[in-house]
Chain A
């Protein structure tokens, strides 16, 4: 039986703000606003029509209030779900539910960050305290320590190699070289990744995502509304969420993420299998992430992710296109990347991806990750019902 939510909502507009390093006179909400203006124009929908607001901005206790005020939007439905980088994929799920229930008619998902510029600002923004910590005395460096521990365990259990991790970074860079908006586009080899400075074994600096500024926005409506406007709609066929822990020492098994559950839920709703997916956008905060997610989402067996990415399989020209914009490793990573995975999936399904376009792509999977492999949210999108 077809799931009631399957294909009921569509993404009508997407946009990024200026990305990279935007300078000291702009703040996260400025970039968020730029992206919102772009996404509304793309959708052919006026700001005054937005009545559903979905947002998460790092370090803000009341993101939705800040964002609603800045944009001049007084929503009838508001959702500030904050589960790190996976928040925006979760917002797509929640927006589809709200649209179907009639809680709103036009849903706006929005994000902005000046993480890179913030490093250069005097008197950095105070973040809310997260004490007590039962890990802090061991002096982990968040978030890299947690992901390094997961990678080390994966190597121990399954024989995953240092070179296989590096292949993920190299594939991302090769995609980035086809994307004029990507932050890092210079050539990169496995040897370059291995010989870079070690941050936390087994990772070098080139196993870690970028630190950039950037914003993004997405406009959604019901599939049966606003059919006369904007670009061709992209259907939300399936979505699934799961989270299992916050701190890495509480993660039940460092080699299996709850993407197993989020993926199963999304595929069940969509009525599809991994073999049906043409292009994947997997949140690559670190090189181990796509390996774990390929396994947990069912594209290969547990433990085989390292071998799976070998030989340029996920790079341009490979059998399975993954992170076609260059990902968090080479395109853009302002702290919570999930919205950019969604935007790229939409561009691929519309055939708007230029040189990096995957020919004939009609189904895409966008996967968000949050915390320390803590939160996993999967969305399956298609240009066809």
Chain B
């Protein structure tokens, strides 16, 4: 386990060396504050649109950080020829994969924490209420959603030729699931029998990332999500992350490194 954490810490250090996070955070903050300064009918208590835009920017930024950071991990190790000395040490391929996963996941967690603190301060100062537990649930579920995304991207980095193609395809898949994943079942019911079976199978098989998107509840000051539902969603994310990581290990186990 020490090897896994040692690898994870290297990935974490990479976060503050690279400028991606700073740029995305500054952009998010700047756009949100600029929109917050807009005068709408001389009413300074309008906040929901600001929460919506801020959360959207946080979601986009977190996906960019997660996918771009993860997609370059193994290809960069291979390109810099640091993968050979790494595996020559008593580090197994499974540990390498797990280390990269934990590192990327912790990196995203840290970034999310900063983003959500900014979000809570921004909405709290305008709305004068602090639903900390709601924000915690949103952050928690968001982080677990990123676990699935990171595991998928790690798998993609072993399957696709270049980090760019991997990142692009993962982005399309993730955004596609977030936009229509919830509705595929309804679409399937309106199709002819064969197409219905195919679409319904896809609907059942895909990881339902929309479970973790609770932005609408946060924006519209919805009630707290039942804790058992949060726990079940966490287990769901854990199962899918483990599945994709295991798949990645199966691919990586027999993959030629040169």
Indicate whether A and B interact: no
